[in-house]
Structure 1
Amino acid sequence: MELQDLIGYLVHRTDLKMTNYFTNRLKPYGVTPEQWSIISILSSEKGTTQKELAEGIDKNQTTVVRMIQSMERKGLVKKIYNEQDRRSHHLLLTEKGHEVKKAILPVVMDAHQTVTKQLSDEEIQQLKLLLNKLFHSHYES
């Protein structure tokens, strides 16, 4: 079997190219693609726990803690203690975080349009379906 026939290789190669493109587009805003994921999830006003956030971006909690600390230093995220469970807290975007999201959203939309411009709407929906099927396949890492 040739390397170009392996789905894992094709997905990884595409992910690298798209991530590099997106990283370069976000660089002027001082935000990484992973931080954009956090901003996107935290943009709701309800507050999110670190555990929920880790599940939402598919990262372990230790990694999320480091990412949140970095975003707190940048003034993008704040913690509010959970009244029901003082051991945990909710994460929210700060006013600056909301401003950054507003500034970055057109860049995100443009990047999405750029990387999918060769695909029809139907192909985009099919690709999302197939990638989600692969993601949710049952195999051990």
Structure 2
Amino acid sequence: MELFDFTGFQIHRTDVKMNNYFTKQLKPFEITPDQWGILSVLDDDKATTQKELAEAIDRDQTTVVRMIHSLEKKGIVMRFVHDTDKRSHNLYLTDKGAALKAKVLPVVIAAHRHATRYLSETEINELKAMLEKLYASVNEE
């Protein structure tokens, strides 16, 4: 088999290009695609624990803690000790974080539309379904 015959290579190659494109779109807002993932999950009036956040963005908790710390320094995220579990933290967006999320969302939507512009809505849905199946097959490991 040739390199381009391997699905993993094709997915990785596409992911690198999409991540680079997305990074350029987010640069004016001084956030990374991973930080956008956090912003998109967090809310300004509903608590999310670090564990819930890590699961939602599919990252290990150590990486998430580092990203949260960076966003805290920027004044985008607040972290409070959990009421019942002192080892856990509740996360919220600050007013600045909520405003940033609202400002970035249209850019994210436009970037998504740009990246998928050659696909029909049906193809996008089929691609999502296939990627979920691939993810499930390797997530079992």
Is the pair's TM-score, using the shorter chain for normalization, greater than 0.5? yes
Where do 1:1-141 residues align within 5 Å? 1-43=1-43, 45-138=45-138, 139-140=140-141
The structural deviation recorded for 1:84 is 1.4
The structural deviation recorded for 1:33 is 0.2
Question: Which consecutive aligned stretches of 4+ in structure 1 deviate over 4 angstroms post-superposition?
Answer: none
Q: Whole-Å Cα distance in 2 between the matches of residues 30 and 36 of structure 1?
A: 10
Number of residues paired by the alignment? 140
State which drifts further: 20-29 or 43-52.
Answer: 43-52
- For the residue of structure 1 that corresponds to 2:137, the secondary structure is coil
The structural deviation recorded for 1:44 is 6.3
The question of whether the paired residues in 1 share the 8 Å contact of 2:75 and 2:94 is answered with: yes
Gaps of 5+ in 2: none
Q: Whole-Å Cα distance in 2 between the matches of residues 57 and 33 of structure 1?
A: 11
- RMSD of the TM alignment (CA)? 1.1
Provide Cα deviations, 1:13-65, integer angstroms capped at 9, x if missing partner: 00000000000000000010000000000036321111111111111111111
Gaps of 5+ in 1: none
